[in-house]
Amino acid sequence: MNKNSVQIIKLAQEVLNIESEEILKASKNISINFSDAVNEIHQCCGRIVVSGMGKSGHIARKIASTFASTGTPAFFMHPGEASHGDLGMITQDDIVIFFSNSGQSNELISIFPTIKRIGAKIIGISGNVNSELANQADIHISAAVTKEACPLGLAPTASSSVSLALGDALALCVLDLREFTAEDFARSHPGGNLGKNILIKVKDIMRIGENIPSVNIKSSLKDAIEEISKKKVGFTGIVNNENTLIGILTDGDLRRALLSKKNIDSSIKECMTESPITLNGSEMAIEAVNIMEKFKVNCFLITDNNKKVIGMLNINDLFESKVI
């Protein structure tokens, strides 16, 4: 590695460290103003209009998109175009969120009076708590940083990252209040693989029929081992004569059985785990991923309302369906 490469890597690490440190500081400075802003947005009967100039304008566009895709009607308004007719898009039921590092951009200041006359509320996010934006806003959120990552201290870097993170935090806090779900998210993304894959339900990808690992409650440990080996999914369901789920035997149960001196002719009933976690097939496949992570398992049996086994889902099925 040459000297130039070392310097590049060192500077890149410094930039990332500075920006991450400033975001961490911002998280510790979250105040009641932020909570007030979230509640106002959640209760808004109109739309969220997001605006900013220059770099702040790029951030505003992204945050407007994030709001819109997470259940809050929003759009970007260019402040320069606003004074040439676009202010007509704003109503008294709307909330306007302005992003500005200085809080003193002339394009923003010039349209404050009209917005106030319309009756829309203003939320300001800026790095200057004494700025005109901070003074004119109904709610102001500080995006102040102690240091920019730019070696010259000029280009907006850490300040842009903090503003972006605060905007994301606003949108996601509102998402949480709306109880917005993965299925809701997919509905607003129907054109991409993300939306298509999130809409997949467990019943759409579960294994059925002979592909379900299952042995009768009267079976021996040897029978269960043969079924596990045959189906190659690391477990088998235990059912009665009516195909009602009684329990489950996993590789872990098998190891514990052998350690407790059970032999292959032992009754499966002595080795199984009762009341396993099951799904009913109507869940979104992405929900199955969350349940797997929560309970640290990689497969489920699917049962109907009478606890009869109708399917099986393995983590590999989720990978093959591109849910994860």
Q: Note the pLDDT tens digit of each residue in 192-213.
A: 555 556 678 899 999 999 999 9
Q: Is residue 48 part of a domain?
A: yes
User: Which CATH number goes with the domain that contains 269?
Assistant: 3.10.580.10
More confident residue, 287 or 91: 91
Residue 210 main-chain phi, psi, to 5 deg: -65, -15
Which residue segment(s) compose the domain that 232 sits in?
202-320
User: Which CATH number goes with the domain that contains 82?
Assistant: 3.40.50.10490
230 with 161, same domain?
no
246 with 301, same domain?
yes
pLDDT at 60 over 70: yes
State the pLDDT at residue 185.
65
State the pLDDT at residue 186.
61
Q: Average pLDDT in the 97-120 region?
A: 94
Q: Is residue 195 part of a domain?
A: no
State the pLDDT at residue 190.
53
Q: Average pLDDT in the 118-140 region?
A: 95
State the pLDDT at residue 141.
97
Q: Is residue 187 part of a domain?
A: no
State the pLDDT at residue 193.
53
46 with 138, same domain?
yes
Confidence of residue 289 (pLDDT cuts 50, 70, 90): confident
Q: Over the chain, what HEC string results? A: CCHHHHHHHHHHHHHHHHHHHHHHHHHHCCCHHHHHHHHHHHHCCCCEEEEECHHHHHHHHHHHHHHHHCCCCEEECCHHHHCCCHHHHCCCCCEEEEEECCCCCHHHHCCHHHHHHHCCEEEEEECCCCCHHHHHCCEEEECCCCCCCCCCCCCCCHHHHHHHHHHHHHHHHHHHHHCCCHHHHHHCCCCCHHHHHHCCEHHHHCECHHHCCEEECCCEHHHHHHHHHHHCCCEEEEECCCCEEEEEEEHHHHHHHHHCCCCCCCEHHHCCEECCCEECCCCEHHHHHHHHHHHCCCEEEEECCCCEEEEEEEHHHHHHCCCC
- Measured at the CA of 121, the angle between CA 120 and CA 122, to 5 degrees, comes to 120
The domain total for the chain is 2
Burial degree of 197 (CB within 10 A; 0-12, 13-18, 19+): middle
